[in-house]
Amino acid sequence: MTRNSRYDVLFEPVQIGPVVARNRFYQVPHCAGMGHLRPKTAAAMRGMKAEGGWAVVSTEECDVHYTSDIAPYSEQRLWDDADIPQHALMVDAVHEHGSLAACELAHSGGQASNHYSRTAALAPSPIAVEGFGTINARGMTKRDIREMRRIYRRAAKRAQAIGYDIIYVYAGHMLTLPTQFLSRRTNQRTDEYGGSLPNRVRFMKEMILDAKEAVGDTCAIAVRIMLDELMGSDGLQCDEEGIEIVSLLAELPDIWDVNVSDWSNDSATSRFQPEGFQEPFIHRVKQVTTKPVVGVGRFTSPDTMVSQIRRGVLDMIGAARPSIADPFLPKKIEEGRLEDIRECIGCNICVSGDYTITPLRCTQNPTMGEEWRRGWHPEIIPSAKNQDSVLIVGAGPAGLECAVSLGKRGHKVTLVDSKKEFGGRVSRESRLPGLSAWSRVRDYRLQQLQHLVNVDLYPASALNADDIFEFGAQRVVLATGAKWRRDGIGQELSFSVPGTDRTSVFTADDILDGAELNGHVVVYDDNHFYMGGVIAEKLRQQGASVSLVTPAADVSHSTHFTLEQHAIQKRLLKLGISIHTCRSLNAVHDGGVEIQCVYTGDSQALECDSVVLVTAQLANDSLYQEIMIDRSRFSEQSVRSADCIGDCFVPGTIAAAVYSGHQWARQLGEPTDEREVPFLREMPAIWAVLLFSWFRVSESAGQLVHRHHWSKRLESKVDISRLTHDWSSSWTL
């Protein structure tokens, strides 16, 4: 297949100061839950982006000093020379595919907890560290400012020595020191670094000039700028101080990376913002600088990308989440394979990796985060080791992914579902308010199945145990999903709630199946993810009066991990939904419910006409249990195995269901892993010890350190004796 000529502009090279990007695709910095704790995992993940055609691949936030310690979060670090080897892993992985590597140097200033380093946080003026009520930041002296400039210069030189092509001065959110100097809220200084806007810009200007001086003409300098805080007059605004800041610095950096703040706005979910929503802000920057501009907007449509470039909105297509959903998005556009793009659905399950300090995951891309530890490639799956035929019962996210992956491996696959419409929970949930983009999970996989002649699809085909055995497949996979509980048991309550067997009690399944409730409805949310809030929103839109009751301190509490909680609660309040937090469901009566304070046990009566329970889920595994009752039928019918996947195995997120289906398909016919842990574990401390010990042995044997191709860049710049400090007495090779 060949690329449509209208997309040619996307593959033009872009000059960024002294370096050239081979096309306009730019993976902007994004967190990954890997950082300094999992450097091999991070390098493999970033390298996959470069292989997939992203011309620039960036790190996440990279702390430049121990006074910017944000533990327990796992971002990158470049505190001293000991951090250099793990960075080199990523740089080499990116350079291997002809892409530029960018390092987002950062200091969190007055938002650094410094729990690990146990040093004082630093800020332009004395402030409380957000989220840590017992920690305060010390106002920086002029000596502190001079020292901070020296720290940045030193970090820039290290990044240059490692081989990074682009080095950031990061002012993208209020969590960074330069932005804290820019904001009146955090900068109350009365000297030349405070007061007027030019004074507040001074520190950032000095940092840019320092970075340029430090690296000379070998690296490009990028500035990531927060243009608008979307707080009105309480914060920076694009058309006032935001664009004026850019104007004062317009020609200093080699490229501008534009965003809005805070992170929940910058990475807003598809439930609250459409593709390309940051265009008005990015466009303003293009009007005041001649330097290239990169911006984001959850871009998945190549036509949208071309439109923004042709109209002069930006020069490079920035992406974090779309590059996670499909690391090969650029190559697929280049090769004319638009139908193969796994479009980001904007659910932000990837963001949860940062908050849970675990490698990121993706609803659309089950291989994300598994590039190193399992060796999974998003576009390559091993051919089948045998010719076993597979019957998959259930065409939800797990069943669809399993069928696609097995089909690509070469197995003969039959996918059946009792419903006329494939997609399972994805099809049902995508009809809820704001979740229409989630249908991409179903649509992408159905499109892939259309090209697999070895996969047969049978909708509206309910099967029982006899049907399954008579079908004759050698492998049986049950992907029959889950159902919401009707007894009130959830995260808070472990026993059935009295009265939940009444006809006035419904579950989320009933609403998903089209039930419309009138009068006053109480939604009881003991699930705490998105479902309770979106069900309440749907019922309110249908005209019901709604009260949402939850044992948590706020609605949809777990959506803090997906950056949505504030937006969800704001929307529900604006819709007139009454919210009762820290209340559990005690009983359901005729005409009402009894709720109870989770702290005091005090009861309260709420009148209502009906109740919707959004609590826990139970696997729909009765068909599986029936199959497993009589094992003798397996040999009689030549059935080699029967397994559950997805929600039928254990209810969870859509991302977990997709992963489950993919994992089962990948492992079919593969040799059994004899290890106690069936994936590689990263031991960064031990890995560092061994690597540094190798350096010492190499030196003692008279060998050149630059036997590693990347270490030649570090010759005369890294003190190897410092790297092996503290370990030499206990580790040898």
Give the three-class secondary structure for 511: helix
Contact 505, 497 (CB under 8 A): no
Active site residue 582: no
Identify the helix (H) or strand (E) that includes residue 524. strand 520-525
Q: Where are the extended beta strands (E) located within 526-581?
A: 545-549, 578-580
Q: Give the span between the Cα atoms of 103 and 217, in whole angstroms.
A: 16
Active site residue 217: no
CA-based radius of gyration for the chain: 28
Produce one character per residue of 153-165: b if its CB has 16 or more CB atoms within 10 Å, e if not.
bbbbbbbbbbbbb
Active site residue 266: yes
Which amino acid is it at 602?
A: D
Q: Choose the catalytic residue: 257, 266, 340, 526.
A: 266
Q: Choose the catalytic residue: 26, 152, 168, 170.
A: 170
Q: What is the 3-state secondary structure (H, E, C) of 331-398?
A: HHHHCCCHHHCCCCCCCCCCCHHHHHCCCCCCCCCCCCCCCCCCCCCCCCCCCCCCCCCEEEECCCHH
**Cβ count within 10 A of residue 559:** 24
Give the three-class secondary structure for 77: strand
Q: Choose the catalytic residue: 31, 238, 350, 362.
A: 31
Q: Give the span between the Cα atoms of 424 and 478, in whole angstroms.
A: 13
Q: Give the span between the Cα atoms of 270 and 299, in whole angstroms.
A: 11
Active site residue 444: no
Question: What is the tally of helices (H) and strands (E) in the chain?
Answer: 24, 29
**Which candidate, 548, 540, 397, 545, places its Cα nearest to that of 481?**
397
What phi and psi values does residue 130 have, to the nearest 5 degrees?
-60, 130
Give the three-class secondary structure for 184: coil
As given in the structure block, the two tokens for residue 97 are 């595919």
Q: Choose the catalytic residue: 36, 173, 283, 557.
A: 173
What phi and psi values does residue 452 have, to the nearest 5 degrees?
-105, 100
Edge-to-edge strand ranges of the sheet holding 545-549: 505-507, 610-614, 520-525, 545-549, 578-580
Compute CA 476 distance to the chain's CA centroid, rounded to the nearest angstrom: 33
As given in the structure block, the two tokens for residue 365 are 């891309």
Active site residues: 31, 170, 173, 266
